[in-house]
A and B are shown apart, each in its own frame.
Chain A
Amino acid sequence: MTTERISEQLHENGDYDRLASDLEYKLETCGWASQLRDYTRGIARENTGIDFKKLYEITLQTATESIPDSIKMEIMKDIKSSVLKLASPSEGSENQKT
């Protein structure tokens, strides 16, 4: 099973949206999202008329480098369990029967 196919299945069963909501909630709660917004606003103000693509590249790089490890680990754990659930759906159905 390819990564694209797994990603597609996560979208289909709603797990992707759930993971996205969890990530957003955790980032907002710890204040990291607010800091990233302030940083991005600062960049946009200093470089008036900046191209969206350029602003996005800068923001994404900063976000990737600065995202808290604890949140990253929690979300990765969640992703792994969702992916394993896709890989072995028969186990899930057996658990439901019992």
Chain B
Amino acid sequence: MTMQPVSLAAISCSIFEDLLRDYTHELTQRIHRMSKLALQKCQRCNTYCRQHCTKPGFDIYANNIQTPSSIPYYQCLSCRREIAASRYAAHMEKCKGRSLSSATSYASLLDGDNSNDED
């Protein structure tokens, strides 16, 4: 099948326009959505901070930032000390030489504690 050069150029132009339209449509959709969301009140801080939140304790997207004062603490099953959540696994690795991988169950850890208490 032969194709006339003029027809080929016209077809190529048409397809190129389709490609550009699709690209522009997707880009506009994303930006329009973001601009609409920016007009809505943030559910976390109840202000119009969608684009840029300046409230302390939140990042620019109004997500909660964990500060040293806000990190939860949990009691170690082994030594009964209060350990920060972010350090809990590392502490369990070292606490009295026991590790989570070596413990068969939490019950065994608790049994170990009971025996230590008796000593």
A residues near B, CB below 8 A?
1, 3, 6-7, 10, 16, 19-20, 23-24, 27, 33, 36-37, 40-41, 44-45, 48-50, 52, 55-56, 59-60, 63-64, 67, 72, 75-76, 79-80, 83-84, 87-88
Please, could you name 7 A-B residue pairs with CB atoms under 8 Å apart, sorted by A? Answer: A6-B15, A20-B22, A44-B35, A48-B35, A49-B39, A55-B31, A60-B21
Residues of A within 8 A of B20 (CB): 23, 60, 63-64, 67
Question: B interface, by DSSP: helix, strand, loop or mixed?
Answer: helix
Q: Given contacts A27-B23, A76-B16, A80-B12, are A52 and B28 in contact (CB under 8 A)?
A: yes
Q: Given contacts A1-B1, A6-B11, A84-B8, are A23 and B18 in contact (CB under 8 A)?
A: no
- A66: shortest Cβ distance to chain B, in Å? 11
Q: How many residues of B contact A (CB 8 A)?
A: 27
Q: Which of B5-25 contact A (CB under 8 A)?
A: 8-25
Partner of A7, one of B8, B18, B25, B29: B18
Across the interface, name the chain A residue whose C-beta is closest to B14. Answer: A3
Are A87's CB and B39's CB within 8 A? no
B residues near A, CB below 8 A?
1, 3, 8-25, 27-29, 31-32, 35, 39
Residues of A within 8 A of B11 (CB): 3, 6, 83
Are A19's CB and B8's CB within 8 A? no
How long is the Cα–Cα vector from A86 to B37 in the complex, in angstroms? 44
Residues of A within 8 A of B9 (CB): 80
Are A44's CB and B1's CB within 8 A? no
How long is the Cα–Cα vector from A24 to B24 in the complex, in angstroms? 10
How long is the Cα–Cα vector from A44 to B25 in the complex, in angstroms? 14
